[in-house]
Structure 1
């Protein structure tokens, strides 16, 4: 054998740095390495590239054995022998001849495309490795060979990250496009479309190369609009490619043909799942008729082994997913008929049951795991809701599901999406029922939170009328509570206190613990904003007492703590307020409740202003603003008391830092990850005194803000910008901005001139 028998690479090799390094490591530790992955993902290219890089370690040669065209497993030893250029020996079986030939060789054998011959390849590999102790075998297959000592190396699709040097899918598209269409380039005008195209193609190299071939007639934007029919779009390809790689459909169809009948049935049924799914979902959706529930696990294992389904390790256990291209193929196989209808209904019924469980236990100790499960299942929740609202016959189920998910919509900040599904379900299901009452007051509540001042009273009027006609006493009490909620959100205070008290009596008569718990901090918020801080705090403490039996319930506890912290602040008990906020923001951080975190960040900014930590004020307000904008249209609910507290802290910070300094720190805060913003808030009390801007006497350097004079003084002492940042506990970027402002203020060209601004009359600014 000679290295020349390894095929030369006809096109440039893109990416796979990590996989190639792992292949090197695996071949040092194991003698059989199988590269697995879905069709078209690049297993062969990776194996060949790795062999080129490693061939110096194999003095007796590296040989590629293509197996895609081989149909008869009995001819496998003959095919390998032919690749090694061994003469046929009539007296000796080919497998024995191979073993004899390789027994003293330090060689690498690549068995390429083993999935349709997996048993034969497993037997041959095991026999050859036993006979030849220095032999290494690399196999490429959509499923493992399942041989003792085999090391599995999954080859995933190319990276389709939004940015960064590791975005290999975009690099592959750019490289192939330059060769296919002279003059084509990925630039600022089309980069977003190309990136979206690569993402929609799952980062599968074959799909990307087929898409590139369409650039001769379609732009990336035009291809994006046609991707719902990707199998018709992505046909053709290189004439020299094996037939199964000439279209995307045939490469995936190859896997379908190799699957058993139960695996094919499960594949098509699981295609209705839009996101990751659990074994429980697979059984609920996939089990029916010819595929009983007890056979689903075996079929799922088979699909995972064939790289049709990808295993995902999650916090709550193993989950699974399909690439979009594989899912779309499964949907085509499922078809539009009765089988598809029954499968989609099983899917809907499963997630309707999940929504019912979520609603029943949302304000209990299972809140956090239930919420995380719903977040992971969000794509499938949308599919189930769409199934309901698409057909008036199922609209009642859609209305139930949308209302039962109110806690999910609120906690995740998906208020607009929640309103979207509530409105569609209301339009589809005009019947007078309890779910309609709830959907109407939920819509009103979400509009209040988002600062939308539409005709919400009309929604409440309808909800109250329906509740009276169908004798829905609980719905009537909730509706009346939210009528007063809406009134004070619009600045109407007359009768609100009495209205809340009456609604709470009705909820108590109904034994509605959740209603009493939530109306406590709703009513408490009204009181603290309208001079009744003591009564408002007492109502919040009542909610916290009701919550005491469910210590793992964090959502309502967090809101009660927030309202209480506002009341304490307005009473002048600032330390107690911030301690309350510390407890509260931790609850919201666990839930990843972005709107709740934004509320608490505001209070920490007020405290930072009191401590004269002005960069911290701006950064906290910037972080809060970024979170507000993700969920609501008007920060702080448009409530004047909260606006005034925000403006007061911001005004002090602007005066101390100057507009440029404030805006720089505000922008930095807005770019903080959520956990970093929470950490910044919780570190507020621990901030060293150096972070505060001490009062500065007038003198040289007037015209600068106090912080800029402080920075200038440290520059005069010879400190670098980074050293100044560390001393003042601010970012270097903020120091850079201050220094640039000082230079511009006096027309200086270098930092060395700054001491002059402090030691005497400031020079006149340069023209």
Structure 2
């Protein structure tokens, strides 16, 4: 963006779109929260309009007026006409023959007066256009509302560099400071005012120093231009201006909503924020009011869900308006709501609702983290944290967040008041995740603690079954497969007795794999097929995709590479649709063995690289997993693959770096050209196509960022580009396009 007189930095597409909109609409209103860059964009659009149309343009900042009664006089004065009086009709009559663009900046300062005057101007002056900026739309007939969002990551960084160089001419963007600047702009949500104010601190702080002081951003970001309006001279002044526009009830809801991180659904707001002066029935209208005033933004998939979000600066400002007791009360209600959400989602882990449960948890992941962070830090809630983490056991594996599960378990496992069943489930989960991630000593120690709890307290069948499954995994890693089989037979029986179907099919799956590990392929095949038969009728995907992949592995061991490849591809389609990182890793691994058996060495090496990247995302070293490493070595030896050759290393590195869509294309034995229609049909870059596919699966921008290990701001830029290139206006259209694209593939 710009200062009041500087050149535009970024917003080129917005400026072009605004030029087009002003060509057909007589009233355009730029909306958005304070500091988002409405003023700068409006002034740039006015200059652009004047050059393109050779018309006059006039700019009036309503924040400079002290009285709404002065608005009419000021408009007449800036246009250069004499009006009989200051009423809307009198001013409109005076400008009736004028042609040009009038910019009314900051209409929220006197909204009612601005609405009356604009309506009169448009009715009386047919050649006059109005470009307004406001925290909320005017609501005048014919108005076109254009929301202004944060700057994309690259533009925010360019803005910082430009403003920093203005303050300190010797400043340059370098490899040494680029990372800090990128993180700083992301932490500031790409809000232009905040970025500019941060850049102004470059005289006394390095970019890293500014980043480290952002905990107190409202005191840090106060050095605005002296010629800027008062509301633009500090971040706090901008936030206070937004706050003053809200009613007392809206201010109270805004403050309580600050407990959420990464957005929230309406139902959560009604449950967490109601009470103590706010009726749950009023929350809907208050959310609507905060949306209208640009405190909140809306995101949806066009069909199944709507969520709301606020910028971090707005959230932190509102949090300061609460007392510590009020913050703690809100956080406790927030924890309770998300604990209930986890319980509901976990109930859907087995059956046709599995994908829906995972989508819900993906959307709410940031809030789950916030709830757990609060819970593990307070001894009164640590037991509840254990219950949440243990209930999410399949989720951690499916989404590849095994390390995160270990993090929360390590902080909460010593909760003194946790029920014995909860402690054992948590310790079992902690034990097998530690083992999986190459820390068998820690895993064994945790399982011994679980055994000690069971020795002192009776536990239910489901808890005992989970501990037995964890014990079997530890035994397999320790090289005691017979011991693992005994534990698993007992686990299947305990799970069946408990009625926990998800636990039962998991135990059956691991039992089938264990039979394969000891070389009993017939029993392994029967057991794994039983797992498929248990899961298929109810629409379960996670365990079934693993079982199909394991059956493919058995087919390969019987030298039936064609059947193996078919089973792996079936499994891969299922795991990819679910977003199952762990099952996908296993499928890619087996497909690499299939390629090795077929003497397709380059393909095998590339798939091994892709599998390795997925395993390491899980925190797993595949060469440290006994059965995986043994089969890798065996398949490579049979194919004559030498890992030390440049060709292998090149192909392996290429596979590890492939984006998700190309991994799937490779694994399904399609060329990239075959999976991607002609350029004129798909005008997206590889990364944009990858983002579009994740959007099509229902993931939010934050969830896409987590899946691809990029910033949310970068994802937002990609989504904007996707919508623009495809000519769409919603994520729902993107999702439909992705489905159509998949249907066109051979």
TM-score tier after normalising by the smaller chain length: 0.7 to 0.9
Question: Equivalent residue for 1:327?
Answer: 315
Mean Cα deviation higher: 248-257 or 55-64: 55-64
Q: Which of 604, 610, 615 is the aligned partner of 1:623?
A: 610
**TM-score normalised to structure 1 length:** 0.84
Question: Equivalent residue for 2:708?
Answer: none
- Write out aligned runs for 1:543-554 (5 A): 543-551=531-539, 553-554=540-541
Q: Which of 110, 113, 116 is the aligned partner of 1:120?
A: 113
- Write out aligned runs for 1:502-651 (5 A): 502-551=490-539, 553-635=540-622, 638-639=625-626, 641-650=627-636
- Write out aligned runs for 1:345-494 (5 A): 345-429=332-416, 431-474=418-461, 475-494=463-482
Distance in 1 (alpha carbons) for counterparts of 2:208 and 2:565: 51
Q: Given the alignment of the two structures, is residue 155 of structure 1 paired with residue 142 of structure 2, yes or no? A: no
Q: Which of 652, 660, 664 is the aligned partner of 2:646?
A: 660
1:461 positional shift: 2.7
Q: Secondary structure at the match of 1:548?
A: helix
Contact 1:433–1:470 at 8 Å: present in 2 too?
Answer: yes
Q: Given the alignment of the two structures, is residue 244 of structure 1 paired with residue 244 of structure 2, yes or no? A: no
Distance in 2 (alpha carbons) for counterparts of 1:281 and 1:227: 28
Q: Secondary structure at the match of 2:389?
A: helix
Distance in 1 (alpha carbons) for counterparts of 2:54 and 2:592: 68
1:208 positional shift: 1.3
Mean Cα deviation higher: 283-292 or 452-461: 452-461
Distance 1:288-1:636 versus aligned 2 partners, 3 A rule: farther
Question: Equivalent residue for 2:695?
Answer: none
Distance 1:120-1:654 versus aligned 2 partners, 3 A rule: farther
Contact 1:614–1:657 at 8 Å: present in 2 too?
Answer: no
Q: Secondary structure at the match of 2:645?
A: helix
Q: Which of 91, 109, 125 is the aligned partner of 1:132?
A: 125
Question: Equivalent residue for 1:10?
Answer: 5
**TM-score normalised to structure 2 length:** 0.86
1:103 positional shift: 2.0
Question: Equivalent residue for 1:67?
Answer: 62
Distance in 1 (alpha carbons) for counterparts of 2:322 and 2:145: 31
Distance in 2 (alpha carbons) for counterparts of 1:686 and 1:392: 53
Q: Secondary structure at the match of 1:391?
A: coil
1:194 positional shift: 0.9
Question: Equivalent residue for 2:725?
Answer: none
Question: Equivalent residue for 1:100?
Answer: 93
Contact 1:541–1:560 at 8 Å: present in 2 too?
Answer: yes
Contact 1:489–1:637 at 8 Å: present in 2 too?
Answer: no
Mean Cα deviation higher: 327-336 or 93-102: 93-102
Distance in 1 (alpha carbons) for counterparts of 2:62 and 2:613: 55
Distance 1:187-1:439 versus aligned 2 partners, 3 A rule: same
Distance in 2 (alpha carbons) for counterparts of 1:653 and 1:324: 54
Q: Given the alignment of the two structures, is residue 679 of structure 1 paired with residue 665 of structure 2, yes or no? A: yes
Distance 1:129-1:624 versus aligned 2 partners, 3 A rule: same
Q: Which of 235, 242, 255 is the aligned partner of 2:222?
A: 235
Q: Deviations over 1:266-322 (max 9, x none)?
A: 111111111121111221222222221111111111111111111122363221111
Contact 1:467–1:473 at 8 Å: present in 2 too?
Answer: no
Identify which of structures 1 and 2 has the higher relative contact order when contacts are C-alpha pairs closer than 8 Å and 6+ apart: 2
Distance 1:650-1:572 versus aligned 2 partners, 3 A rule: closer
Distance 1:243-1:461 versus aligned 2 partners, 3 A rule: same
Q: Secondary structure at the match of 1:456?
A: helix
Distance in 1 (alpha carbons) for counterparts of 2:673 and 2:178: 43
Q: Deviations over 1:657-713 (max 9, x none)?
A: 99223222222222211232122111269999xxxxxxxxxxxxxxxxxxxxxxxxx
Question: Equivalent residue for 2:73?
Answer: 78
Contact 2:609–2:653 at 8 Å: present in 1 too?
Answer: yes
Distance in 2 (alpha carbons) for counterparts of 1:381 and 1:9: 42
Question: Equivalent residue for 2:183?
Answer: 196
Contact 1:66–1:111 at 8 Å: present in 2 too?
Answer: yes
Contact 1:181–1:216 at 8 Å: present in 2 too?
Answer: yes
Q: Secondary structure at the match of 2:481?
A: coil
Distance 1:431-1:300 versus aligned 2 partners, 3 A rule: closer
Distance 1:150-1:462 versus aligned 2 partners, 3 A rule: same
Distance in 2 (alpha carbons) for counterparts of 1:535 and 1:240: 80
- Write out aligned runs for 1:137-286 (5 A): 137-160=130-153, 167-286=154-273
Distance in 2 (alpha carbons) for counterparts of 1:310 and 1:422: 34
Q: List runs of 5+ in structure 1 lacking aligned partners.
A: 1-6, 161-166, 689-767
Distance 1:171-1:154 versus aligned 2 partners, 3 A rule: same
Distance 1:483-1:658 versus aligned 2 partners, 3 A rule: closer
Distance in 1 (alpha carbons) for counterparts of 2:356 and 2:20: 38
Distance 1:259-1:569 versus aligned 2 partners, 3 A rule: same
Distance in 1 (alpha carbons) for counterparts of 2:567 and 2:575: 13
